[in-house]
Amino acid sequence: NEIVLTGIKPTGKVHLGNYIGAIKPALQIAGTSDCTSLYFIADYHGLTFIQDRDEFNTLSYSIAATWLALGLDPDRVIFYRQSDVPEIFELSWILSCLTSKGLMNRAHAYKSIHDKNEQLGLDSDTGVNMGLYTYPILMAADILLFQSDKVPVGKDQIQHVEIARDIAEGFNRIYGDTFKLPDYIVDEKTAVIPGLDGRKMSKSYNNTIPLFEPAEHLKKLINKIKTDSTPPQAPKNPDTSNIYLLYKEFATPAQVQDFRNKYLNGISWGDAKQELFQVVNAYLEEPRKKYNKLMVAPVQIDDILNEGARKARAIAAPLLKKVKLKIGRYN
Ligand code: TYM
């Protein structure tokens, strides 16, 4: 029985990159194989970025409502809020005592801010809190505490899963075989979904297409996707087109074939965007309704999350106990 685990941090609206890179594959795995899936809201990771109480609360619910609206079945998936599982934070501390500072210096979330500060001639740690700095250790605890085999993520999280592996190996070396070594699952084709400007779609680049925007706004955003200046009637290469890449994720195989032919025969970027909007909007229409309904009174989600936390803790507590025995805490 394989354990599959993934999380999303509540630092902004869930966007197409999150959906295609992580949520869609995670839901596919949960729906098809007989594995145990643990999907969670990484709210305490989000706290390193969001320190407005109401925003933090709403964004956390928004992540939960997104998963549920997209079809997560809480009877099949253990679905919880990270902060409801205190065992994770206890393990995180234990792991941090075995993790070298140098490893954190190289972790990219921290390193990118550090390097940018240096370029700007600022103190290299400007804007860095300790939560951001030790972020990968908490993520290792998320993963290792459940003996995860597989972690479906986008490319930007590969390094973090590798760090979790390193930390697990370090612990196993000192205290004997304890943690499973996790693997990431990344689909090369969708590992980096581009945003409106062609860079990686990311909340921090402000180039996202959020999943559940009203149709009119979705259309506006899709129209903003950057394209080249190939003339309208000229044949176009679908395999280098961001519009085509997104289209494939939301259309049927027959629609994709048809769209491909249009590219080869010449389609204007305006028309391509219009068709992309049609399929994305049709695909998301029902989930969007469910999402909006859940967000009217998001506390209705609490029962589901509380039950998920109960199940998660039932798995986490015995493992944490085992870890404590290994390090010399006997009661
Ligand atoms: P987060 O919240 O930044 O992103 C959630 C997931 O979406 C993926 N993703 C993308 N995939 C493809 N193209 C993109 N443009 C794109 N943008 C984001 C991310 O790779 C991620 O899989 N640290 C994690 C949350 C986390 C976690 C964990 C994940 C905490 N603990 C344990 C897995 C296991 C994060 O910040 O993801």
Q: What is the pLDDT of residues 13-66, one digit of tens each?
A: 999 999 999 999 999 999 887 899 999 999 999 999 999 999 999 999 999 999
Is 17's C-beta closer than 6 angstroms to any atom of ligand 1?
A: yes
Copy the structure tokens of residue 26.
């995670």
Are the C-beta atoms of 234 and 247 separated by less than 8 Å? Answer: no
pLDDT value at residue 257: 98
pLDDT value at residue 18: 97
Please tell me the distance from the alpha carbon of residue 191 to that of residue 116, in angstroms, as a whole number.
Answer: 24
Copy the structure tokens of residue 248.
């494939």
Structure ipTM: 0.99
- The number of residues in the chain equals 331
Give which of 331, 5, 17 is closest to 203, Cα–Cα: 17
Q: Which whole-number Å values give the CA distances from 326 to 70, 172, 180, 322, in the listed order?
A: 41, 10, 15, 6
pLDDT value at residue 328: 97
Say which residue the tokens 């600022």 belong to.
122
Instruction: Decide if 198 is inside a domain.
Output: no
- Please report, for the domain that includes residue 71, its CATH number: 3.40.50.620
Judge if 30 and 117 occupy the same domain: yes
pLDDT value at residue 190: 86
The distance from CA 39 to its chain's CA centroid, rounded to whole angstroms, is: 10
Is 156's C-beta closer than 6 angstroms to any atom of ligand 1?
A: yes
Judge if 176 and 65 occupy the same domain: yes
Task: Look at residue 152 and give its three-state secondary structure.
Answer: strand
Judge if 14 and 96 occupy the same domain: yes
Q: Which 8-state DSSP code applies to residue 149? A: S
Distance 13 CA to ligand 1 centre (A): 13
pLDDT value at residue 283: 97
pLDDT value at residue 32: 84
Distance 288 CA to ligand 1 centre (A): 21
Instruction: Decide if 159 is inside a domain.
Output: yes
Is 18's C-beta closer than 6 angstroms to any atom of ligand 1?
A: yes
- Please report, for the domain that includes residue 261, its CATH number: 1.10.240.10
Judge if 79 and 112 occupy the same domain: yes
Report residues of the chain scoring pLDDT below 70: 331
11 assigned ligand-binding residue:
yes
Are the C-beta atoms of 200 and 17 separated by less than 8 Å? Answer: yes
Judge if 145 and 95 occupy the same domain: yes
Distance 23 CA to ligand 1 centre (A): 9
- Domain range enclosing 144: 3-192+298-327
Q: Which 8-state DSSP code applies to residue 84? A: G
